[in-house]
Amino acid sequence: MSDQTGVSVQQIVEKVWLSIAERRLRPGVQLKEEQMATIFNVSRARIRQALALLQRDGLVAIIPNRGAFVCKPSVEEARDVFFVRRTVERCVVERLCKGVSKADIKRLRDHVAKERIANTQDITTDIIKLSGGFHLLLAETVGSDFLFATMRDLIARSSLITAVYRNTNRFNCGPDEHAEIVEAIVGNDADRATHLMAHHLEHVESELDLTEIRDLSHDLRAALA
């Protein structure tokens, strides 16, 4: 009758991640374990594991004996994330410009092609997944566990920040800029590649409204001053 199919921890994480990135889950809402266990048709233990991973990625905050809540990053945190991201992505690109295999090149170009398709067909879910996935793929191609893990963390937080502070309806991180970066890497042109990447990230950040007045709900004294 009912599908007995248990959902893997990774699938749960991805589902929640997407829901947050697509703004279906707003910052502050509580992710109750039993509720999620029912939705995904698994035991609470697996949900707890998924929540721990989401905490690792900085998407949810787990308060002891209270539960897990979707994070709301502050404007300053958003700036910090992009600051570090500029550095790490630069490091990634520099490493890639030292040479990539033919297989890697194909993978990168194929990914950009997928992004193009998602963009023309306007499938929001795919656009979000793939545009973050591009930067993750770059890090993965380097082959350093550390850079990959760091990038994973940064992408997750960037997605949350984008979901919270995006001021346009169009999703940024378009495939054209990605394509240019790939070709610069293929041509081993480190200067051009790092420059393009810096410009790309500036572009992404510029579409966010980080001048917004801070939410001072948590600090009544400051709010009423």
List contacts with DNA (CB under 7 A).
6, 8-9, 30-35, 42-46, 48-49, 62, 64-68
Count CB atoms within 10 A of the CB of residue 135.
25
Separation CA 21–CA 9 (nearest Å): 18
Specify the residue, 33 or 89, whose C-beta has the smaller distance to DNA.
Answer: 33
The two tokens of residue 174 are 């378009």
The entry of a second copy, DNA, none that residue 46 binds, CB within 5 to 8 Å by partner kind: DNA
| β-pair partners for 208 | 166
Specify the residue, 20 or 53, whose C-beta has the smaller distance to a second copy.
Answer: 53
Specify the residue, 61 or 116, whose C-beta has the smaller distance to a second copy.
Answer: 61
User: How far, in Å, are 22, 136, 161 from residue 140 at the CA level?
Assistant: 24, 6, 22
Sign of CA dihedral 95, 96, 101, 103: positive
Touching a second copy, residues 80-119 (CB under 8 A): 80-81, 83-84, 87-88, 91
Residues that bind a second copy (CB under 8 A): 45, 49, 52-53, 56, 58, 73-74, 76-77, 80-81, 83-84, 87-88, 91, 144-147, 149-150, 153, 157
